[in-house]
Structure 1
Amino acid sequence: MDIVDFLRSREGAATAQALYAAGFTRRALAKAVSEGIVTRLHRGVYLSRKAAPDVVAAFRANGKLTCVSAARFYRLWTLDSANDLHLSCGTGLARHQVVHHGQCIHPDHPFLPVAGVGDVLLHALRCLPELESLVMVQSAVSQALLTTKFLKNKMGGNRNGKARAILDLVLPRADSLLEVLAHTHFTRAGLRVKMHADVPGVGEVDCLIEGCVIVELDGGTHFKPKQVKKDWYRSNSGLSGGFMSLHYYYADVVYQPQKMVDEVLAVLANKEAGRYGPLRYLAGPPPS
């Protein structure tokens, strides 16, 4: 592996110490700099031509990426890409378009200027809007990176009350950020929700509401013709078994949650009122 390949494996940036530990000599590093293959950001930090801007910014500030800015390094779900950089800096000096976070108390990323996942989530819980921090924590729990118990033990006192309440919304299992968001919206509307419910004749569904309305949360794969066909057959099986089926997509759950909830409530009200068909058909064909 040459220096460029090594830097590429580290988002395009590395310290001199890391380069030496990987077997590159001072002479080889100096040669790479003189030939313009790599550049020196400042003393002890070297970059490739395609270094990741956020990693470069962290090295430049002598800080660590954290909160939503560190999400991608741990494959954490996020709702929106933040314009501001979230850093934990030892100096604490104000910088333009940088959100400063407190000191990190857990082990950092093994080779990047990124806070450890524990600090990333603690910072997110105290910094981000409720649902944005919730999906980050949910994805970490789903990957078994840590537990909600661990985070709660780190967040004592009254000032962390709201953050601890967010942890109570985390599900034992969630296959996508849509599931934890939908569950939160439905339960807050006073509905009984069972996630990953097994419905006879249908199989496992994303949400079963009030024991009779199936809600499926469809991602990108559901646009494929084969999956669309499968989904329609599942809906048909559900209807023949007495279950109404509704489908929602990312934009519905993230940007129009109240509309989604209102539609589910309307379906439940109509079902309760018997508006989905005359009962006489259940007794057989009408007399000739």
Structure 2
Amino acid sequence: MELSAFLAVRGGTATTAALQRAGFTRHDLTAGMDSGVVVRVRRGHYAQPDTTGAYGAAREIRGLLTCLSAAPGYGLWTLNPAEQLHLCMGHRTSPPDVIQHGRLLHPRHPNLPMVGLADVLLHALRCLPELEALVMVQCAVGRGDISLAFPRGRLSGNRNARSRAVLDLVIPRADSLLEVLANVAFVRAGLSVRRHVEVPGVGEVDFLVEDVVIVETDGATHLEPYQVKKDRRRNNAAVIGGYLVLRFSYDDVVYHPERMVTQVRALIDIWRRGDFRS
């Protein structure tokens, strides 16, 4: 593997020790710096010349990314990008603009300057707002990267009650973070919800609320022409089958969940009163 390719798979940076273990010699590093393929960030650390962002910053500060800052490295769902670096610094003092997390309890990432997935999730549960932590955990659990029992078993005691409450919101299956958030909104509103229901003539729907309203949560793929046509056919089939249908976008679910719930409730009330126009 070429030096540039090796650095690329490690987030653009690597230590001298890691490079040497991979078979790169001092001559390779010198040649790489002479050709502009690599730059020395500081003693014992090298990077691609255009490396910026969290990985480079973590190497520079000599910390390990965790919590929200490590989510992209593990491909976890997030609601918002990290505005500050979340780092594990060991016994070192972190810079004032860094959110410092506790010590590592599990093996770190083998290549990238990040803590292991288990620590990422534990730190997120203790640090982030409820729903931001929830979508990260839901993603990891849903993919089978970690069991729900694993973090729960490490969050005992009164001080971790809030984190355990977040774990209680994880559902067996969610195809998108929108489903996770919509489910929380409906359940907390006291609505009866069934998820991933197979409706004859329609197929599987995201939610069936009060056995009356089909609710679909539409991410970016639902804006593609083919999907728009498919969704229209499904809507028509659902209405002909006697169901009511509401569709909500990312903006609706993430930023206006109360409005979404209000509209679902309003449609259910209209159905119960029999007030549809004839």
TM range (shorter): over 0.9
Shift >2 Å, 4+ stretches: 30-37
Q: What's 1:20 paired with?
A: 20
* Partner-residue secondary structure (3-state), 1:229: helix
Q: Equivalents in 1 of 2:240, 2:9: separation in Å?
A: 53
Matching residue's letter, 2:120: V
Q: CA deviation at 1:34?
A: 4.1
**Structure 1: which 5+ runs fail to align?**
279-288
* Partner-residue secondary structure (3-state), 1:163: helix
Percentage of identical aligned residues: 50
Matching residue's letter, 2:203: G
| Alignment: residue pair count | 278
Q: What's 1:268 paired with?
A: 268
- Map Cα deviations across residues 85-144 of structure 1 (whole Å, 9 max, x no partner): 000101341413210000011111111110100000000000000000000000001111
TM-score, length of structure 1 as denominator length: 0.93
- Map Cα deviations across residues 168-209 of structure 1 (whole Å, 9 max, x no partner): 100111010000100000000000111101112211000110
The question of 1:202 aligning with 2:189 is answered no
Q: CA deviation at 1:77?
A: 0.2
Matching residue's letter, 1:89: M
Q: Equivalents in 1 of 2:122, 2:58: separation in Å?
A: 19
* Partner-residue secondary structure (3-state), 2:114: coil
What is the 5 A alignment of 1:109-128?
109-128=109-128
**Structure 2: which 5+ runs fail to align?**
none
CA contact (8 A) 1:92 1:100 kept: no
Structure 1 pair 194/92, CA: closer, same or farther in 2 (3 Å)?
farther
Q: Equivalents in 1 of 2:51, 2:218: separation in Å?
A: 35
Q: Equivalents in 2 of 1:92, 1:133: separation in Å?
A: 26
* Partner-residue secondary structure (3-state), 1:211: coil
* Partner-residue secondary structure (3-state), 1:131: helix
Larger mean Cα displacement after TM superposition, 34-43 or 200-209: 34-43
- Map Cα deviations across residues 196-243 of structure 1 (whole Å, 9 max, x no partner): 011122110001101110001111121122221221121111111211
Q: What's 1:283 paired with?
A: none
Q: Equivalents in 2 of 1:201, 1:28: separation in Å?
A: 63
Q: What's 2:247 paired with?
A: 247
Q: What's 1:60 paired with?
A: 60
Q: CA deviation at 1:31?
A: 2.8
Q: Equivalents in 1 of 2:59, 2:235: separation in Å?
A: 52
Q: CA deviation at 1:2?
A: 2.2
Q: What's 2:48 paired with?
A: 48
Larger mean Cα displacement after TM superposition, 153-162 or 95-104: 95-104
Q: Equivalents in 1 of 2:26, 2:195: separation in Å?
A: 57
What is the 5 A alignment of 1:90-101?
90-101=90-101
Q: Equivalents in 1 of 2:117, 2:131: separation in Å?
A: 18
CA contact (8 A) 1:8 1:51 kept: no
Structure of higher CA gyration radius: 1
